[in-house]
Amino acid sequence: MPSYLRLRDPRAHAVASLNREVMKWLDEVVFDHLQEDELRENDVDSALLSAIQNSDIVYSEGVFSGKFSSNTSKALREIGAYIHHGKWRVDPAKVPHELIGAFTLSRDKAEGKVTNIIRTLRDISSNMVHAPLGIDLRKHGADILAVLDMQFNKHLEEVPLSLPNKDMVLDQFAKEMHEEIVTAAVDQVDKLAEKLGTLSETGRMDSLFAYIRGAYITSRNAVSVKMEDKINRFAMDCVEEKARLSGSNSYVWVTCHDDKVRHSHRVLDGKTFQWDDPPEVAPGRHCHPGQDYNCRCWAVPVLPFDPKANP
């Protein structure tokens, strides 16, 4: 009489808790060095001049674009600018001389700031490998394992079960997770620097800080995805090893049953597979649930006996 080990999936909780720490670390190591104050530094009196100097507003051929406040709008009206088809426009001949100077200056200044930021990012990226993460990764792995241990032991009361190589498994997890996070972070910081390097060519020097924040958040998410993937694999590796130890030869593939499940995994839902023979998820590629890229699928281990029926 086979029995099914329906385990509570510890991954979402583990991902959320580690993600908080990784994002905090990333903000401290990277984002806090891209100071808003410096980007918004202000050294002129006039609202319009200061907006231009801060690169909040850019001017090109009779059109102003960027971020407008009530002060800058008032100042624009004073120089004869008007809104037409949702854009601030002005007769180029009417633009005061000191503003024309500021437009050029503002662009040079913005470019100078971007160059500084790129330099900062390069420094961060090369120091990152040696700097401590300050996150107890081993503990995060141990928490996942504890949830699994508790559930396996509940189902298999007669055979309390813990991985014999638990210490090694956790050391390995911490080491690989550290590598995963740091490699992804270095990669993303380099990408961010590259992206900023093309900023002056693509001409987006207005709203500099908003642009950098947007690009940084994209990078942050990419690091998060790598971390999540690693947790998913680790948890499923532990389930596999513990299931095998408890006498299981097979499992039932279970998806999250939502819209995001890819077709190649949806067709595996509810089917039984051998631990020794993972199904093909893409041409030539075989794996168990949670071991494919970004896979949130889960396994229900099958025991070929009823553990509670043993004398």
Question: How near is the Cβ of 120 to Zn ion at its closest, in Å?
Answer: 39
Q: Counting contacts by CB under 5 A, is residue 220 touching Zn ion? A: no
Question: How near is the Cβ of 260 to Zn ion at its closest, in Å?
Answer: 9
Given the complex with Zn ion, which of 72 and 291 has the nearer CB atom? 291
Question: How near is the Cβ of 265 to Zn ion at its closest, in Å?
Answer: 4
Q: How many CB atoms lie within 10 A of CB 58?
A: 20
Q: Kindly indicate which of the ranges 57-65, 142-150, 166-174, 262-270 contains the residues binding Zn ion, using the contact rule CB under 5 A.
A: 262-270
Q: Which residues lie closer than 8 Å to 162 by C-beta, 6 or more apart? A: 149
Given the complex with Zn ion, which of 265 and 288 has the nearer CB atom? 265
Q: Kindly indicate which of the ranges 82-90, 213-221, 225-233, 265-273 contains the residues binding Zn ion, using the contact rule CB under 5 A.
A: 265-273
Question: How near is the Cβ of 141 to Zn ion at its closest, in Å?
Answer: 22
Question: How near is the Cβ of 72 to Zn ion at its closest, in Å?
Answer: 51
Given the complex with Zn ion, which of 180 and 292 has the nearer CB atom? 292
Given the complex with Zn ion, which of 11 and 109 has the nearer CB atom? 11
Question: How near is the Cβ of 263 to Zn ion at its closest, in Å?
Answer: 10
Question: How near is the Cβ of 297 to Zn ion at its closest, in Å?
Answer: 3
Given the complex with Zn ion, which of 45 and 258 has the nearer CB atom? 258
Given the complex with Zn ion, which of 175 and 266 has the nearer CB atom? 266
Q: Counting contacts by CB under 5 A, is residue 265 touching Zn ion? A: yes
Q: Kindly write out the interface string for residues 280-299 of this chain, putting x where it contacts Zn ion by CB under 5 A and - elsewhere.
A: ---------------x-x--
Task: Report how far residue 282's alpha carbon sits from residue 269's, in angstroms, rounded to the nearest whole number.
Answer: 15
Q: By the 8 A CB rule, do 53 and 43 touch?
A: yes
Q: Kindly indicate which of the ranges 96-104, 192-200, 257-265, 301-309 contains the residues binding Zn ion, using the contact rule CB under 5 A.
A: 257-265
Q: Kindly indicate which of the ranges 18-26, 35-43, 245-253, 264-272 contains the residues binding Zn ion, using the contact rule CB under 5 A.
A: 264-272
Given the complex with Zn ion, which of 266 and 308 has the nearer CB atom? 266
Given the complex with Zn ion, which of 125 and 291 has the nearer CB atom? 291
Question: How near is the Cβ of 228 to Zn ion at its closest, in Å?
Answer: 13
Task: Report how far residue 47's alpha carbon sits from residue 212's, in angstroms, rounded to the nearest whole number.
Answer: 23
Instruction: Please count the residues of this chain forming the interface with Zn ion, following the rule CB under 5 A.
Output: 3
Residue type (1 letter), 276:
D
How would you write the chain as a 3-class SS string?
Answer: CCEECCCCCCHHHHHHHHHHHHHHHHHHHCHHHCCHHHHCCCCCCCHHHHHHHCCCEEEECCEEEECCCHHHHHHHHHCCCEEECCEEECCHHHCCHHHHHHHHHHHHHHHHHHHHHHHHHHHHHHHHCCCCCCCCHHHHHHHHHHHHHHHHHHHCCCCCCCCCCHHHHHHHHHHHHHHHHHHHHHHHHHHHHHHHHCHHHHCCCCCHHHHHHHHHHHHHHHHHHHHHHHHHHHHHHHHHHHHHHCCCCEEEEECCCCCCCCHHHHCCCCCEEECCECCEEECCEECCCCCCCCCCCEEEEEECCCHHHCC
Residues that bind Zn ion (CB under 5 A): 265, 295, 297
